[in-house]
């Protein structure tokens, strides 16, 4: 056997994506380059690693075993890289973060410079709903979480970042009359909700209950992006975080509908378990965020001030 780590890496990516085209995009290589490396890797074995059916690649039983073994090899190689960087005095290792879906409009701007400045840090970021984020935190599966509401049952430390404001929004076709939407008009609106477990849904339900508004649910969607598109199309109305609808409001696809008691205001928080055994990377990130959060927020989110 005389295959290279690069050939193994190419095979693992093709096996994962079941496509030479997708693998080439993921590896930033041309399709011919991926095909050549894949062919050279296969030549090292007398047993087929994959089968080509149409345009799709299917990994054989033997190929699956090579995938398992190959991933272990690549993990060990990565570990060597981490150790080398550590000996050079650089941060090295994995940083695992789980964030609620709306936080995807915030978190990348908070940590991008930190990740770019520390080339040995591999970021794994899961974007999901609040219930899943808190479960991952509770099970110690992640280093940090980003949420807008603090979990009551966990002992956590936190860094408060910035305001999270939720407004009632509708499509451009809606014609609003008067200063604030009346209770009777509110009750006529078909509402679109996020799924159970979403912090946005919880905030919306609490607001409606507090105002004793009798309304009906038009539909339920599992992402803010899907919800935004549904509102833009005229399917209904919703209470949504301002951070995720900036462009749609700017170009006029969405409009904020004034309602007494809105916006709902919470705060984005970077949180971690108080009992967490913090790695050098985690400690460095905490220092970085504490020292730079005001400048980062001013740089990337000053546009929100005109809505306050």
220: left (phi over 0), alpha (psi -120 to 50) or beta: beta
Residues 227-236: pLDDT tens digits? 999 999 999 9
Q: Residue 87: what pLDDT?
A: 66
For 93-162+267-307, CATH gives 3.40.190.10
Q: Is the pLDDT confidence value at 188 over 80? A: yes
Question: Who has greater pLDDT, 87 or 38?
Answer: 38
Residues 200-242: pLDDT tens digits? 899 999 999 998 888 777 789 988 899 999 999 999 999 999 9
Contacts of 161 (CB under 8 A, 6+ apart): 106, 110, 267, 268, 269, 270, 289, 293, 297
Q: Which CATH architecture has domain 5-87?
A: Orthogonal Bundle (1.10)
Distance CA 58, CA 123 (A): 29
Residues 270-289: pLDDT tens digits? 999 999 999 999 999 999 99
Distance CA 105, CA 97 (A): 15
Residues 96-152: pLDDT tens digits? 999 998 999 999 999 999 999 998 898 999 999 899 999 999 999 999 999 998 888
Superfamily of domain 164-265: Periplasmic binding protein-like II (3.40.190.10)
Contacts of 24 (CB under 8 A, 6+ apart): 30, 31, 33, 34
Q: At what angle do helices 20-27 and 31-42 cross, to 10 degrees?
A: 110
Distance CA 115, CA 285 (A): 9
Residues 19-73: pLDDT tens digits? 888 889 888 889 999 999 999 999 999 999 999 887 788 999 999 999 999 999 9
Distance CA 218, CA 155 (A): 37
Query: Half-sphere exposure (CA, 13 Å, Cβ side) for 9?
Result: 14
Contacts of 254 (CB under 8 A, 6+ apart): 169, 170, 171, 172, 228, 231, 232, 245, 248
Q: How many helices (H) and strands (E) does the chain have?
A: 11, 11
DSSP, collapsed to helix, strand or coil, labels residue 10 as: helix
CB 146 within 8 A of CB 100: yes
Q: Residue 193: what pLDDT?
A: 93
Q: Do domains 5-87 and 93-162+267-307 have the same CATH topology?
A: no
Domain ranges of the chain: 5-87, 93-162+267-307, 164-265
Interstrand relation of 190-194 and 238-241 (parallel, antiparallel or unpaired): unpaired
pLDDT classification of 199: cutoffs 50, 70, 90: confident
pLDDT classification of 77: cutoffs 50, 70, 90: confident
Query: pLDDT over 70 for what percent of the chain?
Result: 99
């Amino acid at each position: 056997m005389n295959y290279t780590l690069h050939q193994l890496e190419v095979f693992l990516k093709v096996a994962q994506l079941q496509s030479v085209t997708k693998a080439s995009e993921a590896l930033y290589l041309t399709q011919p380059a991926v095909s050549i490396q894949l062919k050279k890797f296969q030549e090292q074995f007398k047993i087929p690693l994959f089968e080509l059916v149409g345009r799709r690649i299917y990994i054989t039983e033997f190929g699956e075993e090579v995938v398992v073994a190959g991933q272990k090899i690549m993990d060990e190689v990565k570990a060597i890289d981490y150790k080398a960087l550590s000996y050079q005095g650089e941060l090295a290792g994995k940083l695992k973060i789980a964030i609620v879906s709306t936080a995807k409009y915030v978190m990348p701007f908070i940590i991008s410079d930190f990740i770019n400045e520390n080339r040995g840090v591999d970021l794994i970021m899961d974007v999901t709903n609040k219930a899943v984020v808190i479960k991952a935190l509770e099970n110690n599966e992640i280093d940090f979480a980003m949420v807008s509401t603090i979990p009551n049952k966990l002992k956590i430390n936190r860094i408060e970042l910035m305001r999270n404001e939720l407004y009632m929004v509708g499509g451009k076709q809606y014609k609003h009359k008067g200063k604030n939407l009346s209770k009777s008009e509110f009750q006529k609106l078909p509402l679109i909700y996020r799924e159970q477990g979403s912090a946005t849904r919880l905030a919306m339900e609490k607001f409606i209950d507090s105002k004793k508004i009798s309304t009906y649910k038009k539909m339920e969607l599992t992402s803010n992006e899907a919800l935004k598109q549904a509102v833009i199309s005229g399917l209904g109305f919703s209470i949504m975080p301002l951070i995720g609808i900036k462009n749609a409001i700017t170009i006029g696809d969405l409009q904020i509908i004034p309602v007494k008691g809105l916006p709902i205001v919470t705060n984005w928080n970077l949180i971690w378990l108080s009992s967490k055994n913090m790695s050098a990377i985690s400690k460095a990130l905490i220092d970085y965020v504490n020292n730079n959060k005001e400048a980062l927020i001013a740089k990337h989110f000053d546009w929100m001030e005109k809505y306050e």
